[in-house]
Every structure is written in C-alpha cells, then in structure tokens.
Amino acid sequence: MAANNKSKRSTTGELLLRSASQVVIDEGVEALTLDAVAQKAGVSKGGLLYHFPSKDALMQGMVEQLIQDFETALQAEYDQDDAPGTPGQWVRAYIRASLQISKQSLALIARLSSIAANSPHLFESAHTYQQQWQQRIETDGLDQTQAALILLASDGLWLSEMFHVGAPEEPLRTQVLEALFAMTRVATKST
C-alpha cells in the first residue's frame, strides 16, 4: 500500500511538472502561477502545494526534470556507443544526447533562461551537473582542450537552433557534426 501511495505521488508530481512546463511554453514564465498549474493539471492547489510548496520549488522541479531527461539520454547514448571503452566515448554520447533535446524542451529552456539572471538559485542543480560533466570530460581520454572545443561547439549548435540564430542549415549541419565526431576519435590525451 505504501509503495502504491508513493507511485501515485510520483505520478501526480510528474503531471504537475508537465503542466507547469506547458504553461511556461504556451504563455511564458510570467503566466506561471500555482493556480494556473493546478488548473491545467486538474489538481487542487493544496495537492500542488503538497508536491511543490512554492513557485520556486515548482520551477526548480522543472529545471531538475530537464536535467534528468538529458542525463537519461546521455547515459543511454554512452551505453550504445559504437566504440565502447575508447577515448571520447563520453563526449560522443554528449553530442548525440544534445541532438535529441526535443523542441518542447528547447522551448522550455529558452523561456526559463529568461529568468536566470534574476533567479540564479533555480539553476544550482544545473551547475552541479555541469561540474560532473566536466569531470567526465577530464577522464574521457581526450585532450582536454580539444574535448572542451568539441563540447562548446556541440552546445553552440543546439543553442543556435533553440534561439533560431545562426544555426547552420543542411548539408553544413551534418558536416559539422561529422567533424565533431571525427575529432572525438583522434584527439587522444598526450602523455
């Protein structure tokens, strides 16, 4: 019975996060209120407050969900790498996971980034994960400078696509990605 209640709480929490994300995507961060989310989810405001005691907690939950979705995709790509155990495996997984970020997630990231300057505490978990990813880079067997260049280029690609600014069109986009993947196979650490 206790496991069933926990599962129900988890399902309700996920519903609330999806509903909050949809409010932000459809109407903007300024439209995100506890009442709007509760209404969209079909949950009482008290039910929402049980899972997320404040708007900040709800927004942190949204950021956490985005990170967890990316981390799940990252691990799946790492596990499916075509050259397991070789230098660059993690960096290749990062590039492929970055390419999988959904249009809905990109829209949510774009909307949430508008509040980053005024609410940096909401993104503390993102900084923690970024530090973990940096540690993985340092132990991936690639030259650190080369690995950093690859990741910055990969991040630049999805950010340019998210903001619709300077994103390369085909066939250049594919050529850029092929070059990045090739760099992960030749940029081994110098000893």
With respect to residue 191, please indicate whether it lies within any of the assigned structural domains. Answer: no
With vertex at residue 63, the alpha carbon angle to CA 144 and CA 146, rounded to the nearest 5 degrees, is 10
Q: Which two tokens stand for residue 112?
A: 């949430």
Please state the domain count of the chain: 2
Cα–Cα distance for residue pair 31/21, rounded to 1 Å = 11
Q: Are residues 106 and 151 in the same domain?
A: yes
Which CATH number belongs to the domain containing residue 23 in this structure? 1.10.10
Domain residue limits at 20: 1-53
pLDDT attached to residue 1: 44
Same domain, 128 and 96: yes
CATH value at residue 173: 1.10.357.10
Same domain, 45 and 126: no
One domain for residues 80 and 49:
no
Task: Give me the pLDDT at residue 103, please.
Answer: 86
Number of Cβ within 10 Å of residue 176's Cβ equals 15
**pLDDT at 190 (0 to 100):** 58
Residues 6+ apart with CB under 8 A from 188: 87, 88, 141, 142, 143
- Each residue's pLDDT expressed in tens, for the chain with a length of 191 residues: 444 444 445 789 999 999 999 999 999 999 999 999 999 999 999 999 999 999 999 999 999 999 999 999 999 999 999 999 999 999 999 999 998 888 889 889 989 888 887 888 888 888 899 899 889 988 999 998 999 999 999 999 999 988 889 999 999 999 999 999 999 987 666 54
Determine, yes or no, domain membership for 141: yes
Return the pLDDT at 3.
Answer: 47
